[in-house]
Amino acid sequence: MPPSSTLMTPSPLHLHPLKSATISMKQLRSYPPEISGSTRPRTTHALLRPHHRTNPLIWFSAFLCVILIVLLIATGVLTLIVFLVIKPRIPNFDTATASLNTIYLDSPTYLNSDLTFLANFSNPNTKIDVAFQYARIELYFFNRLIAAQALRPFAQRRGEARLQVIHMISSQVYLPPEIAAELVRQVRSNRVSYSVRATFRVRASLGVGHFSYWMYGRCQMELTSPPGGVLVARSCRTKR
């Protein structure tokens, strides 16, 4: 065979890896560099907001809120301890004696009457003083208001009792015909039923602390007919 027949031209397949490698390197150079521990994106500083100091007024307001919450919690705990340990009781309102001096109808439906009773106020607490800041006594006949009286404020020390004369006068009080007829019937039967309703605003004091509440007294009384009517039965209760 001729010598030239021993020479072989390189196959195109041997050039493909170099070409593909060259292309791959070009492609890799066109990609952005990877983020490593020492390299940070350029947008990091743009995303961070500038730091501002908190207004001292906001800190002061937050401090006041915390103090207020602590005081409220302490007050609630102290009140609970007082009620559990001392067990405060409300004063008692009662009557032991009463006299019905006059009852007459000026006309078929206008009432005139005179009732006197002895009210008993007692403070059953051994560690708490009370003060009656407001006191109003009302007299009813068959749920009809016929007289009312306000009492002056007064105070009671622990374990103290107070007696006070209450004079209830009804003058020209209109009564519906059916209620007036019932009053006449009771007077003739020598049994007259009156109802006393009392409303009080009480302030209780324990050392430097105090609290106030409303209290209500109810007394159902049965008296003989006037003149000289006396108390023959009663039922009294006090509640908040």
* 181-210 confidence digits (pLDDT tens): 999 999 999 999 999 999 999 999 987 778
CB 175 within 8 A of CB 184: no
Q: Residue 214: pLDDT above 70?
A: yes
Band the pLDDT of 45: cuts 50, 70, 90.
low
Alpha carbon distance 31, 25 (integer Å): 10
Whether the per-residue pLDDT at 220 is higher than 60: the answer is yes
pLDDT tens for residues 95-141?
Answer: 989 999 999 998 889 999 999 999 999 999 998 999 999 999 999 99
pTM: 0.69
In this prediction, residue 177 carries a pLDDT of 95
Overall average pLDDT of the 45-66 stretch: 75
Strand duo 129-141 + 192-206: pairing: antiparallel
Tell me if 148 sits within 8 A of 139, measured CB to CB.
yes
Please report which helix (H) or strand (E) contains residue 201, including its range.
Answer: strand 192-206
pLDDT value of residue 41: 53
pLDDT at 172 over 70: yes
Average pLDDT over residues 54-64: 85
How much is the pLDDT for 200? 98
Query: Considering the chain, what is the average pLDDT of its residues?
Result: 84
Give DSSP secondary structure letters for 70-103.
HHHHHHHHHHHHHHHHT-----EEEEEEEEEEEE
Residue 29 has pLDDT above 80, yes or no: no
